[in-house]
């Protein structure tokens, strides 16, 4: 009987997440810098990049670009 209950589908992202110039530069910096970047040296724009899943922090506090971040970067400014 539980099979008959409709499960809400997660809506697809309608468009590009709008980023300001500072957020965009942060994504570019994380994508082009070969070494690890400490989160305190990266402006994470009050957590907006991390809360939207574009940037994450590892257990040492280093910021890195996620797959979503790479996809957003490939969409262009």
Confidence check: pLDDT of 8 > 80: no
b/e string for 50-64 if b means 16 or more Cβ within 10 A? Answer: bebebbeeeeeeebe
| Residue 72 banded pLDDT, cuts 50, 70, 90 | very high
The per-residue pLDDT of the chain, averaged, comes to 77
Task: Give tens-digit pLDDT for 9-18.
Answer: 444 454 688 9
Specify the CATH architecture of the domain 19-75: Orthogonal Bundle (1.10)
Across residues 3-30, what is the average pLDDT?
Answer: 71
Structural domain boundaries in the chain = 19-75
């Amino acid at each position: 009987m539980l099979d008959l209950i409709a499960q809400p589908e997660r809506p697809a992202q309608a468009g590009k997440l709008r980023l300001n110039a500072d957020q965009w530069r942060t994504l570019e910096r994380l994508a082009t810098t070969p070494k690890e970047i400490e989160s305190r040296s990266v402006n994470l724009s009050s957590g907006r990049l991390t809360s939207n899943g574009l940037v994450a922090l590892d257990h040492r506090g280093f910021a890195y670009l996620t797959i979503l971040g790479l996809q957003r970067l490939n969409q262009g400014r």
